Amino acid sequence: MGDEQWPDKICDVQTPCLLVNIKKVRQNAQTMIDRCQSLGVQLRPHMKTHKCLEIGEIATGYTKRCIVVSTLKEAELFADGGFDDIVYGQLFTEDKMSRYRTLTSLCILVTGAIK
């Protein structure tokens, strides 16, 4: 952060600002991973809320596999970040076909039907 100082109180943080308790994120992700493993199901966390490569890695147990995204932009971000098993949880239109084809050359990308 350079010469800047962190505020003494959270109410003094300038907004907008995202504050993340990374310890809690890691604990929650591990709880999800462990629960899914105990049930014998594959966890496929959604990246929509955080849209963050680092949290995506944590949520996948650092495998960078088996995620869900809601936009092609999110799919592109995570594919460029090395994620290789992505479900695009939306229908796509013909105008997005070239972006979709590019993504399928980078990773496994599964989606619904063309609208």
In this structure, the number of other CB atoms found within 10 A of the CB of residue 8 comes to 7
Q: Give 79's pLDDT tier (boundaries 50, 70, 90).
A: very high
Distance from C-alpha of 112 to C-alpha of 92, rounded to nearest angstrom: 8
pLDDT for 112 equals: 58
**Tokens coding 99:** 């972006």
Higher pLDDT pick, 6 / 76: 76
For 41-47, which contacts have Cβ atoms below 8 Å and span 24 or more sequence positions? 42/66, 44/68, 44/87, 46/70, 46/89, 47/74, 47/78
Q: Is the pTM of this model over 0.85?
A: no
